[in-house]
Structure 1
């Protein structure tokens, strides 16, 4: 599949769209992550990815101020300002970690709104389509945090809000409390790491999200690259594990259990005549409750391999075998 993706004249099939949970927000079921932009992926390479992604029908672009200390957002904002793609053609999901200072930090209303303004400046846009709120702050009343969402929505700076990696009970608490405040503040999504290697979200978080009508944005659906099979015989120098800034990020998913799961993915890919990447990504993409699987790529060719997964639907017997071998 990766070879096909690099064939001249070949185009990825159009990326399908889904609603996020029970909301009216629609996103492409494959999202584009920007974690490496401005560092391992330069601005020109990021632009190639963004253009290829949107031309294939992709809409969801995920970013955060912790990616290169804001560099990724600046790169994305530069391409939007230059008109590489139209602002209305992308759904920007952005998260940030509010800094301290005179207004305090954490999830206080002042800190959240200040962080939002800084994100909008870096992205060079007047609004976020999905504002993803980080963490759980025991030192700030939840109603105050929710009121920040209301202020941002009423000011036209935010269209929808989501949560980043809460526990199941935290998600349920936010969802229930939001109903008493009003539907403007009700979260519509939750973003968490989810792959064949990392299925802990299935214990509480994913059931809670489905019950309360939140869609899941699956982060690192390829197991931080491990599920592509590229590390079975060592560490390629041009891989993320070979990068000083990302080596620890990848190594956290390399162990004996992972090796067994990767071997099953390789076997499935061989039987289906496709790539391990396609098998791993299709598994996550089509799990119940998942709105989108967010993938990162080193370059446009690597991204094309992920987009090509639109042609793949795993047979029930393959999915069942992968479920079994990867059960936590």
Structure 2
């Protein structure tokens, strides 16, 4: 396993991040524990979750599955644990006042609830799952400072932040002193969705944040979806099906699969390997439902993409370029 430092911190993390969103909704607890054991055995030490995972009436279920795994012993001190908070933790409907977003009150409540479910006394990276436009960063950082002083969290990170919010958050943290500010940003980033290259990733690099791409296969569209369908595999659904209904998008994905077939490359592994070549990327999040999917993801770490393939991928999925050139001169 290859390790790197998370942004400007001294924290060493694996180049792949184990995403746990499927644990509970699609993967039962026994299989989830087996996947985490296999990941740890392979040297993958960076695990990501969120308090809302489990969804609906089962919100918090994923954290509980991880907590039960930690309770077996010998695992917590080998794991860099990241979780997220922002959303309403009620089963459904609107949140009761102060039971969502990033007020100091909800941050305090949310971290204590996550610690209980995770059966641990600290969280390595505590992440804001979304921007809260109604809470000033002065309040957010005051709450985070208290949690760091209490030993409940070590670092703070963001998810789904635009570039200007990354800058704003860290500038205010620097003016206040105390916390070192955001150390990571989880963003939607893959071959089909490269808008993060305009401002999010440059902002993360400028402020020393590790970039953690989520949905590296873009909902399965970069995992060989057309070939799988032709062979009678599971058909795409939801947003993926809507994308494939667009002739231009379908043709683009076909070109992608044809290029990789020419070079005898597996699509999902290639999509992950491409992200590992991108500037600023610490490691993409992989969310296996099965042990076999984890094994495939791990193979991406050993994959070196030829220049011809990298050039072909850029031709099929051109990036927007940096700002302001992406939208100006």
Q: Shorter-chain TM-score: which interval?
A: 0.7 to 0.9
Does 2:163 correspond to 1:168?
yes
- 2:269 aligns with 278
Does 2:260 correspond to 1:265?
no
Distance 1:25 1:299 in 2: 28
Distance 2:21 2:77 in 1: 22
- Number of matched residues? 308
* Structure 1 residues 315 and 128: CA distance shift in structure 2, 3 A: same
Shift of 1:235: 8.9
Residue 24 (structure 1) aligned to one of 3, 6, 10: 10
Q: Can you list the C-alpha shifts for 1:120-176, whole angstroms capped at 9, x where unaligned? A: 111111111111112222322210011111111111111111011111111111111
- 1:70 aligns with 60
- 2:325 aligns with none
Distance 2:209 2:252 in 1: 28
- 1:89 aligns with 78
- 1:46 aligns with 32
Distance 1:26 1:260 in 2: 40
Distance 1:77 1:312 in 2: 33
Structure 1: unaligned runs, 5 residues or longer: 1-14, 242-246
Shift of 1:18: 1.1
Higher relative contact order (CA 8 A, sep 6+): 1
Contact 1:18 1:28 in 2 (8 A): yes
Q: Tell me, what secondary structure is at the counterpart of 1:64?
A: coil
Does 2:299 correspond to 1:308?
yes
Distance 1:237 1:297 in 2: 21
For normalisation by structure 2, the TM-score amounts to: 0.87
Matches within 5 A, 1:94-113: 94-97=83-86, 99=88, 100-101=95-96, 103=98, 105-113=100-108
**RMSD of aligned alpha carbons:** 2.1
* Structure 1 residues 238 and 42: CA distance shift in structure 2, 3 A: farther
- Greater CA deviation, 265-274 or 87-96? 265-274
Matches within 5 A, 1:201-240: 201-232=196-227, 234=229, 239=234
Contact 2:52 2:87 in 1 (8 A): no
Q: Tell me, what secondary structure is at the counterpart of 2:269?
A: helix
Does 2:110 correspond to 1:121?
no
Distance 2:235 2:22 in 1: 10
Shift of 1:257: 4.6
Contact 2:243 2:250 in 1 (8 A): no
Distance 1:104 1:227 in 2: 37
Shift of 1:20: 1.4
